[in-house]
A and B are shown apart, each in its own frame.
Chain A
Amino acid sequence: MPTESQRPTAPSGEIDTDYDIGQDNIQASIGSLEVDIHNPVFPISALSVIILVLFCLIFDETAADAFGALRPWLTTQFDWVFAISMNIFVLFCLFLIFSPLGKVKIGGKSAMPEYSYPAWFSMLFAAGMGIGLVFYGVLEPLNHTLTPPLGAPGVLDSDGNLADAATAEAAVRLGMAGTIFHWGLHPWAVYSVVALALALFSYNKGLPLSIRSAFYPILGDRVWGWPGHLIDSLAALATLAGLATSLGYGSSQAAAGLNHVFGIEATIELQVIIIICVTGLALISVVRGLDGGVKLLSEVNMGMALLLFLFVLIFGATSDIFSTLFGGTAAYIINLPALSNWIGREDTGYFHGWTTFYWAWWIAWSPFVGMFIARVSLGRSVREFIICVLLAPTLACVMWMAVFGGTAIAQLVNDGYTGVQQTIANWTPELSLFAMLELLPLSTLTSLLGIVLVLVFFVTSSDSGSLVVDTICAGGKIDAPMPQRVFWCSFEGLVAIALLLGGGLGSLQALAIATGFPFAIVTVAMCYCIYQGLRSEPV
């Protein structure tokens, strides 16, 4: 609900710049259709996506070779860049929690939070990793238990027999630790850094809500020129390409789920229908705005996820879940230095194939998630912000992984059920959740809940992603005309359909993840900018 403005004093840490928000924008009316877009970020972002999509469609083999090789090349050659930068983000966040700078409030001293804790938490969680948890929550803990990180022996020996009790227990703990590592402090630290930078430089410093604003302490007024155009366009491109390809893959995953539960044939037509439905719902949500759309959807999501979580907790391997939870968390804390280390790693399958891949993915995703979190975080102190964005979701992920992964592990170790293991051997991660639910009661109902949960998560990210891309491409204006966000939301759906029909989802997704590399470096610079920005805030 709108409220009468009650903030009489302006935050005094504001940056004095001659730049006016929207000064580079093109405002035009085509009939009664109004547009207000940044020049050149809007055309660069839209055109580069169109060109890349055409490239992937027309030269699909070349694109698959080039982009397909780019990502593994980056994650093996520059594993140290990803590892070091992610470690910096975690340390920097921990520093902020304990530093006196943690007292600074987003939006200035008199700012009040706009959202309650549950609403805020639901939104940042849904934007941050909702879908991934549904897919990898079951598969990843079991995978790392079978082949644990750091070269430890797995839960099964080479003949497929259960290892002795001590080895098996150690494998489960290390497997959980290896999973929590990818979903815990590190990803949420990079989100926290980007989100805090954007929130600080817009709410406190008065700069437009755009990625470029965070670099003002380094670049000064040059952020309004080409360095800024480049950063913003790359962020918009990464977000668009990431969202569209996720949507494309998500539709095949949802179709596989429907096939599994109802036996409906997972044809390409079904997948296109799923994309159209998801995009259609996202359009309704995007028009309803932040409160009537994303916030509502995130809360619905949270409720459904909690329901599924409680169901598996109660009907799954309850006693094992708790030992997995505590054993895994302890192993995570103990092994955190070894897992974070990038020198002389011999478990390259885990380190390159999983860790560095995840790091690139989270970093590539961070402009989108960070910007969305920034927008809804007014009125929180920096300390409160970091604790809530870093620690609370980490805890939630740990519990989720313990419940879903712990049940899958117990099914294999205690009952000898190989259903989930099969989905790893065949690499069909979209079926892991359903394979695990099969052994529990009411599996049709819970599988259906799983499918709906995934679809609603997709609608939510398509919606919040469109808001973010629209804001970046409107020069940081969040009040740009409605047709623009409708355009971006539809555009994502169209790109997903085009790539699904013509091939090339993998190529564009590889490219999206590869943008994690430049962002890894600029995000480290962001830490310095946050430090400078916080120091100049009146405490």
Chain B
Amino acid sequence: MYSDIMVPVELAHIDHIGKALKVAADLARHYGAKVHYVGVTSALPSEVAHNPAEFTEKLQQFAADQGAAYGIDTQAHPLTSHDPTADLDLALEHAEQTIGADLVIMASHLPGFADHIFGSHGGHIASHSKLSVFIVR
């Protein structure tokens, strides 16, 4: 059914997305699919890494750990953006195509009032992507 599952991850808040990671791993095992972890950073130092090279290493390590923990095939896709806060949705849409994903699994918070003004990334991807999108709350 699915062969390439894309999972956007925020390395700084990995504890918030445990459920989505588990779902992705379970589905990957079920369909024999590969999981692609996408992380977006800027070239400037951030909470996660001091530079894009360190970010790449951390994301690769994360993907390897997930692969080992769940016995699945994984790959890391570190992306850089000039302004991750504003460009995240675009970056993820772009990543869907370059990866050739057929399913997106992502964590999102419960929708609230602020989402009417600022929107949520999960909501954006679900309404703009051509793929199946599984939002895990």
The residues in B between 109 and 124 inclusive whose CB is less than 8 angstroms from any CB of A are 109-115, 118, 120
Interface-side segment among A27-35, A155-163, A392-400: A27-35
The answer to whether A482 and B80 have CB atoms under 8 Å apart is no
Given A32-B111, A32-B114, A479-B84, A21 and B43 contact (CB-CB distance below 8 Å): no
Closest approach, in angstroms, between the C-beta of A10 and any C-beta of chain B? 4
* CA of A208 to CA of B51, assembled, Å: 11
In the complex, A270 has a CB within 8 A of chain B: no
The answer to whether B46 and A10 have CB atoms under 8 Å apart is no
The answer to whether A482 and B84 have CB atoms under 8 Å apart is no
In the complex, B30 has a CB within 8 A of chain A: no
* CA of A363 to CA of B85, assembled, Å: 29
* CA of A207 to CA of B43, assembled, Å: 12
> Which residue of A has the minimal Cβ distance to B82?
A290
When the two chains form the complex, which single residue of A2, A378, A483 contacts B118, counting CB atoms closer than 8 Å? A483
Closest approach, in angstroms, between the C-beta of B123 and any C-beta of chain A? 11
* CA of A14 to CA of B12, assembled, Å: 21
The residues in B between 45 and 59 inclusive whose CB is less than 8 angstroms from any CB of A are 45-47, 50-56
In the complex, B40 has a CB within 8 A of chain A: yes
The answer to whether A375 and B77 have CB atoms under 8 Å apart is no
* CA of A289 to CA of B90, assembled, Å: 11
The answer to whether B85 and A482 have CB atoms under 8 Å apart is yes
Residues of chain A lying within 8 A (CB to CB) of residue B12: 22
Closest approach, in angstroms, between the C-beta of B44 and any C-beta of chain A? 5
Interface-side segment among B20-28, B64-72, B91-99, B128-136: B91-99
The answer to whether A1 and B94 have CB atoms under 8 Å apart is yes
Main secondary structure, interface of A, reads: loop
* CA of A8 to CA of B109, assembled, Å: 34
The answer to whether B45 and A2 have CB atoms under 8 Å apart is no
When the two chains form the complex, which single residue of B79, B82, B86 contacts A287, counting CB atoms closer than 8 Å? B86
Residues of chain B lying within 8 A (CB to CB) of residue A288: 86
The answer to whether A476 and B45 have CB atoms under 8 Å apart is yes
Given A2-B90, A7-B52, A289 and B82 contact (CB-CB distance below 8 Å): yes
Contact size class for A? 35 or more
When the two chains form the complex, which single residue of B50, B51, B94, B114 contacts A2, counting CB atoms closer than 8 Å? B94
Closest approach, in angstroms, between the C-beta of B120 and any C-beta of chain A? 7
Q: Which of B94, B98, B118 has the most CB of A within 10 A?
A: B118
Closest approach, in angstroms, between the C-beta of B115 and any C-beta of chain A? 5
Given A5-B56, A10-B53, A32-B112, A203 and B44 contact (CB-CB distance below 8 Å): yes
The answer to whether A289 and B45 have CB atoms under 8 Å apart is no
In the complex, A426 has a CB within 8 A of chain B: no
In the complex, B42 has a CB within 8 A of chain A: yes
Residues of chain A lying within 8 A (CB to CB) of residue B50: 10, 14, 206
The residues in B between 26 and 43 inclusive whose CB is less than 8 angstroms from any CB of A are 40-43
* CA of A4 to CA of B39, assembled, Å: 10
In the complex, B81 has a CB within 8 A of chain A: yes
> Which residue of A has the minimal Cβ distance to B76?
A5
In the complex, A477 has a CB within 8 A of chain B: yes
Residues of chain B lying within 8 A (CB to CB) of residue A292: 86-87
Given A2-B79, A4-B77, A7-B52, A483 and B47 contact (CB-CB distance below 8 Å): no
Residues on B close to A: CB < 8 A? 12, 40-47, 50-56, 77-87, 90-91, 94-95, 98, 109-115, 118, 120
23 contacts between A and B (CB under 8 A): A2-B80, A4-B98, A5-B41, A5-B80, A7-B53, A10-B51, A11-B51, A22-B12, A32-B109, A32-B113, A32-B120, A287-B86, A289-B83, A290-B83, A291-B82, A291-B87, A293-B86, A378-B43, A477-B47, A479-B46, A482-B118, A483-B118, A485-B85
Q: 15 other contacts beyond A10-B51, A10-B54, A114-B82, with CB at 8 A cut-off?
A: A2-B91, A2-B94, A3-B80, A5-B80, A21-B47, A22-B12, A31-B113, A31-B114, A33-B112, A108-B51, A114-B43, A289-B85, A290-B86, A291-B83, A479-B42
